[in-house]
């Protein structure tokens, strides 16, 4: 993604979290980015394209951060904590600060469903890579690393929406982490 696209997406995210998905216009995004509306339309055809770009950039940044942070941590448990922080906890915390979080969730799901699926695929692939050193233990339990990665990502993501509080979320994530750690012999 080029710097101009990143600037626009960062501006869009600020405006969307401030005003909500429905109330944000392309004019609001252009104004926040400090560009003309026509410039915005040459980069992104419509708000749905901006939303898709936002999901894509957020995923790219999170994956890069996870890769960097997990490289400095020994043990699968610590690496899973890092994945959970970027995949679930930071987003949960953000949603708790928004006056109309459901508007944001619905807007991203509606416009960016395909991009969200690509995002989850990237998280699954990254998690599968983290599980690779434990392939013997995972297959010994009758699973593949891909299956376990899918379980971890989908369970953690579901926990983000099902949790009644941050403490509840952290407890749900701790259960997932404990199951995986025990499966690979680290717990």
> Residue ranges of the domains in the chain?
3-183
Please report the pLDDT score of residue 148 as a whole number.
Answer: 98
Q: What is the pLDDT of residues 145-166, one digit of tens each?
A: 999 999 999 999 999 989 999 9
Q: What is the pLDDT of residues 84-105, one digit of tens each?
A: 999 999 999 988 887 676 666 7
Please report the pLDDT score of residue 44 as a whole number.
Answer: 96
CA-CA distance, 70 to 130, in Å (whole number)?
A: 9
- Helix-then-strand count for the chain, H and E: 10, 0
Query: What is the architecture, at CATH level 2, of domain 3-183?
Result: Orthogonal Bundle (1.10)
Kindly report the pTM of this predicted structure: 0.90
Please report the pLDDT score of residue 103 as a whole number.
Answer: 67
- What are the average pLDDT values for consecutive 10-residue runs of the chain, which has 187 residues? 94 90 92 96 93 91 97 96 97 83 69 86 97 96 97 96 96 98 91
> What percent of the chain clears pLDDT 90, i.e. is strictly above it?
76
Mapping DSSP to helix (H, G, I), strand (E, B) and coil, where does residue 8 land? helix
R_g over Cα of the chain: 18
Given a contact cutoff of 8 angstroms between Cβ atoms, the answer to whether 88 and 176 are in contact is no
> CA 45, 50, 55, 60 torsion: positive or negative?
positive
Burial class (CB within 10 angstroms; exposed 0-12, middle 13-18, buried 19+) of 169: buried
């Amino acid at each position: 993604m080029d710097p101009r696209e990143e600037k626009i997406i960062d501006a869009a995210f600020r405006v969307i979290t401030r005003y909500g998905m429905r109330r944000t216009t392309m004019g609001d995004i252009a104004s926040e980015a400090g560009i003309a509306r026509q410039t915005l339309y040459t980069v992104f055809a419509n708000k749905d394209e901006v939303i898709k770009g936002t999901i894509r950039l957020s995923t790219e940044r999170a994956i890069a951060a996870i890769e960097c942070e997990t490289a400095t941590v020994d043990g699968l448990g610590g690496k899973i904590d890092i994945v959970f922080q970027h995949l679930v906890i930071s987003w949960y915390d953000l949603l708790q600060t928004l006056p109309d979080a459901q508007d944001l969730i619905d807007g991203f799901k509606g416009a960016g469903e395909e991009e969200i699926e690509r995002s989850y695929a990237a998280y699954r692939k990254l998690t599968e890579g983290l599980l690779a050193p434990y392939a013997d233990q995972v297959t010994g339990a009758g699973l593949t690393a891909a299956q376990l990665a899918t379980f971890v990502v989908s369970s953690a993501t579901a926990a983000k929406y099902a949790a009644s509080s941050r403490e509840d979320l952290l407890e749900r994530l701790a259960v997932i982490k404990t199951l995986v750690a025990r499966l690979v012999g680290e717990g």
